[in-house]
Amino acid sequence: MPMGKNGEPIIVAQPEETQYRCPKCGSATVQKTGPYGPYIDCLQREAKTCDFRAGVPAGVPCPEEPETGQLVEKRTRRGIFYGCWNYPNCSYTTNTLEPGKMTKPRGADERAAANMKLLERSARGKARSQRGGPGHPPPGRRAEPSGDAAARTMRAGDDDTASR
């Protein structure tokens, strides 16, 4: 970490402590601003005892776990939705935060099944380094394979056989 003259870390924008508690360790969280906008970090990240980081909560708790869950705005090509910041440990999503129109919290069994599936998918996705769930794009785009010409010829061949 870069240090100032007096030994204190250089901070671009002063992190602000938030009203939210870290859902992983219960510690205080701070809002920071990065190149992609504001985000929330657990205060314990600096001590490396917790790795929690999330988008800034929209201000509505997750209906399925209001104690620890906060809904965060997610942007995808198909529009905006809200997901729980405990993803992938919580699979709750809703397209609106309007009271009465939000996705209803599911029963404990249904939730457990959905969350289990999500965790499995997320583990498989990580293993294959494929894309994650909606609103959770992979960390980096896969580079185009080199050997373009060969690949193109092969693809063209595949198309031919497929169309016949």
Beta strands in the chain (DSSP E): 16-21, 28-34, 37-42, 53-54, 57-61, 70-76, 79-84, 93-94
**Is 121 an interacting residue with respect to Zn ion (CB under 5 A)?**
no
Complex with Zn ion: residue 50 or 72, whichever CB lies closer: 50
With CB under 5 A as the contact rule, which of the stretches 49-57, 74-82, 109-117, 142-150 interacts with Zn ion? 49-57
**Is 18 an interacting residue with respect to Zn ion (CB under 5 A)?**
no
Other CB atoms within a 10 A radius of the CB of residue 72 amount to: 21
Distance in Å from the first CA to the final CA of the chain: 60
Binding to Zn ion (CB under 5 A) within 77-96 occurs at 84, 86, 90, 92
**Is 54 an interacting residue with respect to Zn ion (CB under 5 A)?**
no
Exposure of 41 in the CB half-sphere (CA atoms within 13 A): 16
**Is 71 an interacting residue with respect to Zn ion (CB under 5 A)?**
no
Which residues contribute to the site for Zn ion (CB under 5 A)? 22, 24-25, 27, 42, 44, 50, 52, 62, 64-65, 69, 84, 86, 90, 92
